[in-house]
Amino acid sequence: MDADRTKSDRILEQLKKRSVREKVLDMEEEKVKLVIFSLADDYYAFNGSEVKEIILPPGDISYVPGAPDFVLGVINLRGDIESVIAINTFLSLPESKKTSRSRIAIAVKGGVRSGIMVDSIEDVLDVPVSGIKPPLSTLDAFKKECVTGELTFKGKNVTILDTGKIFGKLAA
Amino acid sequence: MDEGCGPACNDELTLLVFTLGGVRMAVDTAQIYGMAHPEDVEIQGRETLGLHQLISFRGPVSYKATWVLQLKDEAIPYGVMIDQPEEIVPVNLDTLQPLPQLVRAGGGSEAIWGATVRADGTILLLVDLYKLPKDAARIQGMESTNLTH
């Protein structure tokens, strides 16, 4: 009898443990997908939900006379004409040179869609929200508005950019 | 302003394709009544302006095979100099696309109003010749502003 009770107790105990484990899993921390890229030897990131695809820069980016300086030109993406912009000047960074590691991130936010030229794509990660720190207080007000946070990746600081704010400022 | 729209213009534009400063562009032939050599236009005593003077290019622009477009709109008193005319092609209106929003940001060119992708994948920028005076005025305004600062 005692042996039976012990067995049922053990089973109940296991069921309880499993339930607790499931609760822990359910309460697992919220994560955010980030596309980490490099520009002028620094790491930056876009929110993954805003990046629709990452493409190799085509051989020819068609320059558009009269377009703002940050617009590198337009490309043919499967029949659709997309703009390609450089955000270096916007971030007070030196101009980048196109290399074999250069990529174009096609981003969409706030009704604006554009390719953004980056020096390289470093990773696409799911990062716990708690791992993201608020933007540095030393950033100037203009940049701080376009930065949503920071995190550490491979020992380096990654600045997370707000695509919507950047597009909004550039489109104004 | 008669732009010479025939019955077909509901479905397609007939474009004159050319290259200037490495940029492939096209204009609606309905806005043109003729194309002449610069020397011939000079003999006629008509004024000519290079397209690069009317639309802001980033770098210097050189001409290799110059032609002058004579416009139907008599309110525009000059011929427009283009380079390397290639072909005249009909293009279906369904294939035309507006320029992306960021390209149009910051008061860019009004004359460059759209683009189309050719069968070979290359992009043609569409130029409205009748809007060139507006662009030219804007460039002149910018230059005079720069001079005063």
Chain A hits for B135, CB-CB cut-off 8 Å, are: 66
pLDDT one-digit tens code per residue, B12-51: 999 999 999 999 999 999 999 999 999 988 888 889 999 9
The closest alpha carbon to A103, from A46, A151, A37, belongs to A37
Rounded to a whole number of angstroms, the distance from the CA of A69 to the nearest CA of chain B is 8
Are A114 and B55 in contact (CB < 8 Å)?
no
Distance (Å, whole) CA B57 – CA A63: 9
Are A74 and B115 in contact (CB < 8 Å)?
yes
User: Which pLDDT value is given to residue A123?
Assistant: 96
Q: Average pLDDT over chain B, rounded to whole?
A: 86
> pLDDT band at residue A43, thresholds of 50, 70 and 90?
very high
**Position A112 in a domain:** yes
**Position A47 in a domain:** yes
Q: Which domain CATH number covers A89? A: 2.40.50.180
Contacts with A26 (C-beta within 8 Å, 6 or more apart), sequence order: none
Distance (Å, whole) CA A72 – CA B58: 11
> pLDDT band at residue A59, thresholds of 50, 70 and 90?
confident
**Position A9 in a domain:** no
Q: Across the interface, which of A60, A67, A79 has its CB nearest the CB of B103? A: A67
Chain A hits for B19, CB-CB cut-off 8 Å, are: none
Q: Provide the domain count of chain A.
A: 1
User: Which pLDDT value is given to residue B149?
Assistant: 41
pLDDT at A40 over 70: yes
Are A67 and B109 in contact (CB < 8 Å)?
yes
**Position A18 in a domain:** no
**Position A16 in a domain:** no
User: Which pLDDT value is given to residue A105?
Assistant: 97
With H, G, I as helix, E, B as strand and everything else as coil, classify residue A148. strand
* Full domain range(s) for residue A65: 31-171
Are A62 and B123 in contact (CB < 8 Å)?
yes
Comparing A21 with A88, which gets the higher pLDDT?
A88
**Position A25 in a domain:** no
Least confident of A49-63, A96-110, B43-57: B43-57
Q: What is the pTM of this model?
A: 0.82
Q: How many CB pairs under 8 A join A and B?
A: 86
The closest alpha carbon to B107, from A71, A37, A106, A163, belongs to A71
Distance (Å, whole) CA B87 – CA B34: 14
**Position A14 in a domain:** no
With H, G, I as helix, E, B as strand and everything else as coil, classify residue B52. helix
User: Which pLDDT value is given to residue B77?
Assistant: 86
Helices (H) and strands (E) in chain A, counts: 3, 10
The token pair at A144 is 């701080």
Distance (Å, whole) CA A106 – CA A101: 16
Q: Is B122 on the interface with A (CB under 8 A)?
A: yes
Percent of chain A exceeding pLDDT 70 equals 93
Q: What is the mean pLDDT of residues B117-134?
A: 92
Structural contact between residues B66 and B83, judged by C-beta atoms closer than 8 angstroms: yes
**Position A13 in a domain:** no
pLDDT at B7 over 80: no
User: Which pLDDT value is given to residue A139?
Assistant: 67
> pLDDT band at residue B82, thresholds of 50, 70 and 90?
very high
Q: Is B109 on the interface with A (CB under 8 A)?
A: yes
Q: What is the ipTM of this complex?
A: 0.83
